[in-house]
Amino acid sequence: MTTTPLAPARTIDRYLQFCEDRDLDEAGKLLAPEPRIVFPGGAVYNSLPEMVADQRGRYRWVRKHRGQYFEGRTPDGLVTVTSLGTLYGEDMSGKPFEGVRYADVFVLHDGLIAEQHVYNDLSETGTSAPVRG
C-alpha cells in the first residue's frame, strides 16, 4: 500500500504541531536525513533533540498561532513553505506573553523538511534569554 504525500503546507503544519506537543518522534518523521535547523542568532541544529536541549532555559513554554502559509519553488525545483504568525507562552519568570511575530521558512526535498529557518521577535521583546554565542 502506498501513501499519498501531504501538501507542503499541511506537512509543515503537522510538523509544527508535533514540535509544540514535544512529540519529537513524529516530528522527526517529517524531516529529511541530516536536516538543517537554523534559529535566531545563527544557532544551527541537525536534530530536534539537539535543538530542544539547546533552547531550554530561554522560556518556560512557547506555542504558535499559525496564521498563513505561502508555498513556492526554488529554481532547482525544491519546495519552500513560509509560515507566518505570532508566538504566545510564558517566559522564564512565569510572565505570559503573546503577539510576538514569527516567520519560519522551510525547504522540502522529496516531501520532507530539509531546512528550517526560524525568525522571531522574542529577544527584541525581552521575552527570552539572550541568544547564546
3-class DSSP assignment, residue 82: strand
Give the tens place of pLDDT for each residue, 18-49: 999 999 999 999 999 999 999 998 999 999 99
Say if 133 falls within a structural domain: no
DSSP 91: -
In contact, 123 and 45? CB cutoff 8 Å: no
Do you know the residue count of the chain?
133
Residue 58: give its domain's CATH number.
3.10.450.50
3-class DSSP assignment, residue 37: strand
Cβ neighbour number for residue 27 with a 10 Å cutoff: 19
Say if 96 falls within a structural domain: yes
Domains in the chain, number: 1
Query: Positive or negative CA dihedral for 125, 127, 129, 133?
Result: negative
Say if 127 falls within a structural domain: no
Say if 2 falls within a structural domain: no
Say if 132 falls within a structural domain: no
Give the tens place of pLDDT for each residue, 83-114: 999 999 999 899 999 999 999 999 999 999 99
Structural domain boundaries enclosing 116: 8-120
Say if 129 falls within a structural domain: no
